[in-house]
Structure 1
Amino acid sequence: MVKLTCPVDGCEWESQDLEAGFAAALTAALQIHEKNARLAPTTVPSTKLKLESLEIGTGCDPDQWSAFQRQWNKYKVGMAIMNAMIPTALFYCCDSDLRTDLMRDIQSDVFKMPTNSQRVCMFSITVKRL
Structure 2
Amino acid sequence: MTAELIHQTAREQERTIVTVRCTGHVRDAVGTHELEFSFAGDRLRAFLEAFFDEYDVEEMLIAETEAEATAHGWAPAPDELPGTWRKNPEGEQTRAYARVCINGRFNEHYDGLETELEDGDRVALIYPFMFCC
Q: TM-score when scaled to structure 1?
A: 0.29
Say which one has the larger Rg: 1
More strand by share: 2
Kindly indicate whether structure 1 or structure 2 has the higher relative contact order, using CA contacts under 8 Å at least 6 residues apart. Answer: 2
More helix by share: 1
